[in-house]
Amino acid sequence: MPDITHPWTRFALVVIIALAVAGLVHRVADLFLRRLALRHPMGASIVARANTPLEAIVPLVAVLAAFRAAPDEPARLIDGLEHLVGIALIGACTWFLVRCIGALEATVTRFNPIDLEDNLRARRLQTQVRVLSRTAMVVIIVLGIAVALMTFPGVRQFGASLLASAGIAGLAVGLAAKPVLGNLIAGIQIALTQPIRIDDVVIVEGEWGKVEEITSTYVVVKIWDERRMIVPLQYFIETPFQNWTRTSSQILGSVLLWFDYGLPLEPLRGELERICKAAPEWDGRVMVLQVVDSNDKAMQVRALMSSTNSGKSFDLRCKVREGLIAFVRRECPAFLPRWRGDVEGPLRNLEHRAQARSHMG
Give pLDDT tens digits for 146-197.
888 877 776 666 555 544 554 444 445 455 555 666 777 777 788 788 888 8
Q: What pLDDT is attached to residue 16? A: 66
pLDDT band of residue 360 (cuts 50, 70, 90) is very low
pTM above 0.75, yes or no: no
203-216 pLDDT per residue, tens: 999 899 999 888 87
> Is the pLDDT reported for residue 61 higher than 80?
no
Query: In 10 A of CB 70, how many CB atoms?
Result: 21
Q: Which residue has the higher pLDDT, 313 or 110?
A: 313
Q: Which class for 103: exposed (0-12), middle (13-18), buried (19 or more C-beta within 10 A)?
A: buried
Q: What pLDDT is attached to residue 144? A: 86
CB neighbours of 27 closer than 8 A, spacing ≥ 6? Answer: none
Strands 299-307 and 242-243: unpaired
pLDDT band of residue 96 (cuts 50, 70, 90) is confident
> 336 near 284, Cβ under 8 Å?
no
pLDDT band of residue 310 (cuts 50, 70, 90) is confident
Q: What pLDDT is attached to residue 217? A: 82
pLDDT band of residue 18 (cuts 50, 70, 90) is low
CB neighbours of 67 closer than 8 A, spacing ≥ 6? Answer: 75, 78, 81, 82, 85
Please compute Rg for the chain using Cα positions: 36
Cα torsion at 305, 308, 310, 311 (round to 10°)?
A: -100
Average pLDDT over residues 246-268: 89
Of the ranges 162-176, 268-282, 308-322, which one carries the lowest mean pLDDT score? 162-176
**Which stretches does DSSP call E strand in the chain?**
201-204, 207-214, 218-223, 228-232, 242-243, 251-259, 282-294, 299-307
